[in-house]
A and B are shown apart, each in its own frame.
Chain A
Amino acid sequence: MSSFSVDPAEVLAVARAVEDAAAGLADLAAGSGDDRVTDGLPTGAAATALREVVGGWRRQQGALARSVAGLGDAARLAGSAYLAVESEVTGSMGGGG
């Protein structure tokens, strides 16, 4: 059993931060996923390994970015919903505070 205490404004702030994080992840994906990463390297084992290191988790980046973006969406939805509940309740109590 859990208690329920929430600051909708903080939840919305979290949503914004998580959305920023999702955008940052997308930037990471765009920045590290290209084929230029081995530019300047002679053909060899290191170039192959570098492609694996940097490009290997690229398969995950899309899913990860989408997950984080979904997390941000969920937090935004929750923050808005909590805010609506709170203002509704405040209104039913006579408004103002």
Chain B
Amino acid sequence: MRSLPRLEGDPGTVLGQAARLRALADRAEALRDTTLGLRAARWDGPAGVAFASRLAVLPPVLGEVARRLGGASDELRGLAGSLEDLQRRVLAAVLAHEAAWLEVEQWARRASAEPDETLRAAHRAAEREWARAGAAAATAHHVAMEEWRAVDARCAAALRALTLDSLADTTAYRLWHAGHDVLAAGVSVTAWGPLKPLSTLGAVGVAAMEVGFRVAWDEGEWSGIALESVLLVAGPASSTLRKAAAAQRLPLGRRLVRGAGESLLDGVSPRRILAEREAAKELADALAAERAAAVARVGSAAGRRLLDARLRVEQAVEQALRDDVRTLRRGTAEQRALVAGAWAVDGATRAGSVAAKVREARSTRAGEAGEVAR
């Protein structure tokens, strides 16, 4: 007897999976509503704007997640219904087919054993009748299975259509990089309510925090920032931050305020830090030229002082870099942010003090040169 295949699957389990996906979709929907509600928070500084830009990407992403999971749930529920119906029809066809062929075999045996020609002809007629019934059952089975394949293909197409959303490879990138341009914008601190004194202190804090956030968010490679700041080390504010990073326990803002002090420049921005860095590079080059001249004229007192100063700066750079690099390689996210904040403060302050020293050294040397000339 030829046995027809049954339609596998368990509609009850499929319905359970549909319910599970629906629950996940509802969860994604709730998360979307939560993130939408966060827009009301008062955080209007540049960091807040950057944060909001990043956050703004979340609701649509979560909406797409909800749509995808919810859509999959609906499709599964429909599929489970069709599966149950078609399984019933396929099973009926399989059983009818089996029964028909049992009858066919039985009537065939009877016909073979029947000596009476009339009865034998009647048995053969019954055998053919059951064979037709078996063939009809096989046809019904085929039709039901074809119907299932069509339902399966339709469902697959509908499911695949759900993937045509923006949950593609760009999602993480968009979330990661949205607001990057905002971070590069200038930072301006204006007086506002109880935070008014921040117009003096806060600018440095905000600028440093922006850089800190960039590191915390892995915005670019920290080593890039390190290279930018390599010439600018060991300011009082940044050394406090570095100590905080080393101590692993001090909040960024508190140390920033204590370390930065009122003497720091107002209106510091990442762009300003960049400009200061360029200025510092020029000064460093100038220092190197001065050093070469000093080595050539090492007999002069100004030359020796410049040489000593240059060596001290280099040693400070080396030591600070060694410590910073160690922290950046092995430290926690907060430690890295603190060190980045230190660089930011350095970038805003060291150029000015180095420039003053260089001017002073040049002036001294010019004076000595003038005396020699006389």
Contact at A60–B172, with CB atoms within 8 Å? yes
- Of B39-47, B292-300, B344-352, the one touching chain A: B39-47
Contact at B212–A77, with CB atoms within 8 Å? yes
Contact code string B52-92 (vs A, CB < 8 Å = 1, else 0): 00110010011001001101100110011001000000000
Interface of A, secondary structure class, is: helix
Contacts of A70 in B (CB 8 A): 216-218
With A and B bound together, what is the CA distance between A57 and B162 in angstroms?
12
With A and B bound together, what is the CA distance between A33 and B35 in angstroms?
23
Contacts of A43 in B (CB 8 A): 8
Q: Does B319 contact A (CB under 8 A)?
A: no
Contact at B160–A52, with CB atoms within 8 Å? yes
Contact at B41–A85, with CB atoms within 8 Å? no
Contacts of A71 in B (CB 8 A): 51, 54-55, 217
Task: Number of A interface residues at 8 Å Cβ cutoff, please give it.
Answer: 65
Contact at B48–A21, with CB atoms within 8 Å? no
With A and B bound together, what is the CA distance between A20 and B49 in angstroms?
21
| Number of interchain pairs (Cβ within 8 Å) | 246
Contact at A10–B41, with CB atoms within 8 Å? yes
Contact at B41–A13, with CB atoms within 8 Å? yes
Contacts of A78 in B (CB 8 A): 43, 47-48, 51, 209, 213
Interface residues of A in 43-97 (CB under 8 A from B): 43-46, 48-50, 52-54, 56-57, 60, 63-64, 67-68, 70-71, 73-75, 77-78, 80-86, 88-90, 92-93, 97
Q: Say which size band chain B's interface belongs to.
A: 35 or more
**Closest CB of chain A to B260's CB: distance in Å?**
10
Interface of B, secondary structure class, is: helix
Given A41-B79, A43-B8, A49-B160, A84 and B171 touching (CB < 8 A)?
A: no
Contact at A6–B48, with CB atoms within 8 Å? yes
**Closest CB of chain B to A69's CB: distance in Å?**
11
Contact code string B8-25 (vs A, CB < 8 Å = 1, else 0): 111111111100110110
Contact at B192–A4, with CB atoms within 8 Å? yes
Contacts of A45 in B (CB 8 A): 152-153, 155-156
Contact at B38–A67, with CB atoms within 8 Å? no
With A and B bound together, what is the CA distance between A93 and B197 in angstroms?
9
Contact at A4–B68, with CB atoms within 8 Å? no
Contact at A92–B42, with CB atoms within 8 Å? no
Contact at B252–A80, with CB atoms within 8 Å? yes
Chain A: CB-nearest residue to B20 = A31
Contacts A/B (CB < 8 Å), 23 sampled: A1-B188, A2-B188, A5-B45, A6-B42, A10-B41, A10-B42, A11-B43, A21-B62, A32-B24, A40-B12, A49-B155, A53-B68, A56-B167, A57-B68, A70-B218, A71-B55, A74-B217, A77-B209, A81-B251, A84-B253, A88-B253, A92-B197, A97-B194
15 new A-B pairs (CB below 8 Å) besides A1-B186, A68-B175? A1-B188, A2-B185, A4-B202, A11-B48, A18-B38, A28-B27, A28-B65, A31-B27, A42-B148, A53-B163, A57-B68, A67-B54, A74-B213, A86-B195, A88-B253
Q: Nearest 8 pairs between A and B by C-beta?
A: A40-B13, A81-B253, A84-B253, A45-B156, A49-B159, A84-B254, A63-B172, A49-B156
